[in-house]
Structure 1
Amino acid sequence: MIALDSPRAGLTIFILIAAALICAGLIKLLLPLLRRYALARPNARSSHTEPTPQGAGVAVIAASLLTAGAAAASMGLAIPFPLFGATLFIALVGFVDDIRSIPVLPRLLLQAAAVGAVLFWAPADLRIAPSLPLGVERGLILLAGLWFVNLVNFMDGLDLMTVAEVVPIAGSMTLLGSLNGFPALTTLIAAALCGAMAGFAFFNRPIAKVFLGDVGSLPVGLLLGWCLLQLAWHGQLTAALLLPLYYLADATLTLLHRIVRREPFWAAHRSHFYQRATNNGFSAIRVVTEVFVLNIGLALLAIISINANSMLANILTLLVAAIGVALILYRISGARLA
């Protein structure tokens, strides 16, 4: 296990509760405005059939940054202004895109600027593959970060789907931090994000009263990706791959499938595995429940790989995880029999 300082378990529990309450309270206050000015109307990508307000991501990100920043200050930790600034910047990009669609290339460049800013300010001694030149490694991480931010956005197309992904990942990191297995600052951010998403879940359960919007899914992807990167930078690359494996598999396989079929992969669509599941007769709550249970299993495998700290454990946990993800993708992509 990673032997680093972490906040006490009591503080992380307080952060979880505070972030959830702040987020829920802000959503309650914002809902009348969102219903009036930020309706998401059904389109080619939508799983909803009625206009639904979007923009609850404002509350999620506000609650996450406020609670994590306040907790860091109370512990005497340096507030990560580059990360927080990049999160607010990419949230602004998402906000504009929610209201008036930004063309693909400018949108990607703006997102890349946010991811690049986080990497630019990261210490040079944080490495995943020291054999590679630092510039090459950071360039590859930039591409991976850009893809991760977008895949979180792509996968935010079903009630509670993003909650079913973020809560197990951020929750497992919070647990690791409480056990002195994760850096203190990352633990605070993971706990705040987990709590904020839990507060959002009350309003996003089927049939959703409000959606995150790009103003939420993009910065959530950035914060979650940064937390996973901390795992990789501290020698736990296997755990960093295990935790988001369902999202990585669904989004990446869907992208490759659309490229092979020469479809405009950048355009809105409903061909993700979880979307095909609802098309094939699975209810939204059934799909997200199965994904949530799978992600709890992936989180347990990640914790096992960290504690075992061996090549054999890494290989076995990745193998078990790959089989589990493949089974779920196969199951939900087929027609429901009963």
Structure 2
Amino acid sequence: MIVTLLVALCGAVVSFLMSIVMWRVGIRFKLHPEIRDRDVHTRPTPRLGGIAMYTGLLSALLVASQIQYFRIVFFDGNERQIIAILCAATLIVVMGVLDDFFDLDWTTKLIGQVLAAGLLAWLGGLQIDQLPIGGVTMWSTWSSLALTLIVIVVVMNMMNFIDGLDGLVAGIAIIANGAFFLYSYMALQATGSTAYFSLGTLISATMCGVCLGFLPLNWHPARLFMGDAGSLLVGLMFAVASIGVTSSMDPEMFQTPSGYSRAQFAPAFTLLLLPIAIMIVPLLDFGLAVVRRIGAGKSPFSADRKHLHHRLLDMGHSRLHATLIFYAWTAVISVGSLLFFVAEQVVAWSFIGGGLVVCAVATLAPLSHRKRREYRVQAAPVATTTREIAVLDPLDRAGAVPKERSA
């Protein structure tokens, strides 16, 4: 684990330094697009963070390639896979940067995403050829390819859709990749199947470091945005890590001849649950957006101001509070899923249940506060003189409607 964390640290340092460079370059040459109606920020901000994150990723992978521990990832017949990952990442970042500056139409962006997914699936051989449910294999090579393309494109757009608040995608990516890193590392220790987990472990840890290095400049108030290049890169790498592990491993590897014990069932169950669970917030936002836009007769990729983070702002949350609420939902589900691996099921379910209740209360708090305020305003007597207005407390004074002053 120490070696992997050192690689992640390398990615964090390079990402942080390059983020400062990109921020200064963006400010110096005014490389920031105009503020759009759906944006929540009020000052022009460069969207060059994706380049910094891409540089951090390349640096970390370059360092890892020189370490004997990761030889199975970069050599031993896996060279095409790494080349495909780098080519797909490069294509996505270039397309994302062009979109940030020239606002590409949705068909062009979709074609670019499909090409990147195709590079991974066709050139790199990174395909979902079996599902981790009893080793169920796909019907044909084409069905495997189609499912892989759909999964990669969906995951990329999930991260892109929620990119609307300072630090939101970077923080969720840290939590998600951190949870997946811990799972893949623990499963590696439990099974000894290095071939299954080395790629997922390395990619997850590296993206944790890359996003952690970028977050200081992206934290509220953000000085640098990751743009489409960064959000699509985050989604692409999470898809790579997830597919690399879940498509290659079957829960039966945790099973003994006598069947699953409680300790052995948890890792197999977590394998099925974790990739979906830790991405539940982006998945929910993506699903609602697609249904909403198609229902309105629009393209599912058309932009609007009705994402979950917009709704939280409309409820009365500040931008910082909305971001922290998204973090909390993701963390509760991610940690709860991991607890199935290391603790009794009752502990895991209790943590998830209690955490979701706390998150729900925090999410809905502005609504109850608004109702209390409206009740106080309606219950307060209408002020008729300057003296009566003076005795009202600040909240009631703001809601009172004074009558015309008498002589």
- TM-score, normalization by structure 1: 0.86
Deviation larger for 258-267 or 148-157: 258-267
Partner SS state of residue 49, structure 1: coil
- Residue 45 of structure 1: aligned partner: 38
Structure 2 residue 135 is the aligned partner of structure 1 residue 144: no
- 1:178 positional shift: 3.9
Tell me, in whole angstroms, the C-alpha distance in 1 between the residues paired with 2:26 and 2:368: 35
Which aligned pairs between 1:1-338 and structure 2 lie closer than 5 A?
9-35=1-27, 36-75=29-68, 76-79=71-74, 80-120=82-122, 121-122=124-125, 126-128=129-131, 129-179=136-186, 180=188, 183-233=197-247, 234-235=249-250, 236-306=271-341, 324=356, 328=360, 331=363, 335=367, 337=369
- Residue 378 of structure 2: aligned partner: none
Q: Matched residues, percent identical? A: 21
Tell me, in whole angstroms, the C-alpha distance in 1 between the residues paired with 2:364 and 2:223: 25
| Post-superposition CA distance 1:19-41 (Å, at most 9, x none) | 21111111112222112242132
- 1:329 positional shift: 11
- 1:216 positional shift: 1.2
- Residue 383 of structure 2: aligned partner: none
Tell me, in whole angstroms, the C-alpha distance in 2 between the residues paired with 1:67 and 1:140: 29
Q: Is the 8 A contact 2:92 2:112 kept in 1?
A: yes
RMSD: 2.9
Tell me, in whole angstroms, the C-alpha distance in 2 between the residues paired with 1:51 and 1:215: 18
Tell me, in whole angstroms, the C-alpha distance in 2 between the residues paired with 1:263 and 1:330: 33
Q: Is the 8 A contact 2:33 2:101 kept in 1?
A: no
1:111–1:152: structure 2 CA closer, same or farther, 3 Å change rule?
same
1:19–1:296: structure 2 CA closer, same or farther, 3 Å change rule?
same
Deviation larger for 21-30 or 250-259: 250-259
Tell me, in whole angstroms, the C-alpha distance in 1 between the residues paired with 2:224 and 2:84: 29
1:329–1:114: structure 2 CA closer, same or farther, 3 Å change rule?
farther
- 2:179 maps to amino acid: S
Tell me, in whole angstroms, the C-alpha distance in 1 between the residues paired with 2:14 and 2:307: 32
- Residue 4 of structure 1: aligned partner: none
- 1:52 positional shift: 0.8
Tell me, in whole angstroms, the C-alpha distance in 2 between the residues paired with 1:196 and 1:123: 23
Aligned length: 323
- 1:185 positional shift: 2.3
| Unpaired segments ≥5 residues, structure 2 | 75-81, 190-195, 251-270, 371-407
- 1:124 positional shift: 6.5
Tell me, in whole angstroms, the C-alpha distance in 2 between the residues paired with 1:203 and 1:125: 36
1:253–1:324: structure 2 CA closer, same or farther, 3 Å change rule?
farther
Q: Is the 8 A contact 1:274 1:332 kept in 2?
A: no
- 1:302 positional shift: 2.8
Tell me, in whole angstroms, the C-alpha distance in 1 between the residues paired with 2:317 and 2:368: 6
Partner SS state of residue 45, structure 1: coil
1:115–1:264: structure 2 CA closer, same or farther, 3 Å change rule?
closer
Q: Is the 8 A contact 2:168 2:323 kept in 1?
A: yes
- 2:278 maps to amino acid: L
1:40–1:123: structure 2 CA closer, same or farther, 3 Å change rule?
closer
Task: Point out which structure has higher relative CO (alpha carbons under 8 A, 6+ apart).
Answer: 1
Tell me, in whole angstroms, the C-alpha distance in 2 between the residues paired with 1:171 and 1:141: 23
